[in-house]
Structure 1
Amino acid sequence: MNGKSAIKIQEGKVGMIGYGMLSSLESLEEILGRKYKDPIYWIHLRGMQRAWNFVAPNNDPNFPAEYIKYESFCLKNNSTTPYEKSIFLNIIENNDIRLNCILYFVTHEELALFDQFELGYTRIDVTDRVEEYYFESGKVYAYKALPAYEYDAINDKDKSIIEKGYLDLVLASYGNMGKEHKLEFEQSTLPHDPNLVAPVVHIKVRD
């Protein structure tokens, strides 16, 4: 198929794309609760790019209780300020871009764990967007923001931040892959607003 190599996804498993926090193997393993032992592929998705346009309220009632036991503050101009929403990476359509990302393989049960973790995102089938491979069996999925969680510059800008720890984790992950991957990350990601980046402090308010 157009010079692509074939991958046969093992029975009982599915492909899953990491393009933000999940580009970090350590983050993936933390959610899995185990060491990851399956193959890892560096791939491209046709017609997609990263954007800093997923935003979620810190007290979102859809989040598990342990997520909303804290008040969140950001550190700006030597002062501590409460903020209401956090901005994370998302993927959007762009026919002129090829998104560099990572392909993992997990079980259906583990995929359900990521469905729970990726609150505010919906899982989409990107099997046919993978440039380098075709798949003899099984599907490949990625997580894309639900419309209700897409950033609105008018309503969200003064209430939202990009957590510096999250940004640093993603940049370090692609930086550790080498200069080429880091450059491709920059080319396939809409720039973030540096004024929105801040360190954060979470203070527990109830048990």
Structure 2
Amino acid sequence: MKLFKFISIIFAIAIIGCQQPKKELILQDNEVGLIGYGSLTSIESMEETLGRKYEGYFDVVELKDYKRNWKVFMPNRNDMYDPYFTIRNGDTVYPKNILYLNIDSFPNSSLNGCLFVIKKSELSEFDKREWIYRRVEVTKNIDGLNIINGKVFAYTALDEFKASNPIDSNLFAVRKTYLDIVDTAFKHLSPEYKNRFFKTTEPYAKNLVIDDIALEK
């Protein structure tokens, strides 16, 4: 029995010794971290909102206790963006709602994403962009990374814009151009990232995809 306990202790010490120490990210007083898990994994998309070239911190991270899905919708006709339409059987069709990627709190689940660092003063521009979402702090949800002197945020759907089972093409659509943005971002990331993305994302109904065109107001 004593020998068994001794071996167990040695084994436990060996495991602890093999564990990799957490990486650290030290934020400046005027900085915050921002997790991109959909279109915001694209640096070009990030730069469009920032209005400047992004040359800051970038890392692929794992976000704990969240799951990714296609269950947030934006009304196609709104005051922020031009409405989208598609041509179907010669007719112009305006989808009622457009689906986008979302994350929801979900214990013991995780997903991959990209971590950027921006100025606190720039957060308001992302709040405007992500108006169907609310910004939540996820500083303690990043696996293997210790955030020092600051906070990290992500966006999750507001309750009024959540879709529980979006499969009706009369009510919802997925923009092909949005899929293209996400796919373009994959080209700057590893094949492992892409595989992990699909593994940790609830799929959308394929019948919802449209070749979209934006109508200029």
TM-score, normalised to structure 1's length?
Answer: 0.88
How much does 1:46 deviate? 0.7
Q: Which residue of 2 aligns with 1:22?
A: 40
Larger Rg: 2
Partner of 1:149 in structure 2? 161
* Deviation per residue, 1:62-121 (Å, 9 max, x gap): x33xx2xx4531234564322111100000123343211000011111011111111110
**Percent identity (aligned):** 32
2:204 match: secondary structure: coil
Task: Determine the C-alpha separation between the residues in 2 that align with 1:85 and 1:7.
Answer: 38
Shift of 1:3: 2.5
Q: Which of 50, 53, 56 is matched with 1:32 structurally?
A: 50
Q: Which residue does 2:12 correspond to in 1?
A: none
2:152 paired with 1:136: no
Q: Partners in 1 of 2:83 and 2:191 — Cα distance? A: 38
Report the equivalent of 2:60: 42
1:189 and 1:130 map into 2 onto residues whose CA distance is 17
Distance change >3 Å, CA 171–CA 121, structure 1 → 2: same
Which residue matches 1:84? 96
Q: Which amino acid in 2 is paired with 1:139?
A: K
Q: Which has the higher strand share?
A: 1
Q: Give the residue type in structure 2 aligned to 1:88.
A: Y
TM-score calculated relative to the size of structure 2:
0.84
Cα offset for 1:55?
0.4
In structure 2, what residue type is equivalent to 1:174?
A: F
Which protein has greater RCO, CA pairs closer than 8 Å, 6+ apart? 1
How many equivalent pairs are there?
Answer: 199
For 2:188 and 2:53, the matched residues in 1 are separated by 19
Q: Which residue of 1 aligns with 2:178?
A: 166
User: Are 1:99 and 1:188, in contact at CA under 8 Å, matched by a contact in 2?
Assistant: yes
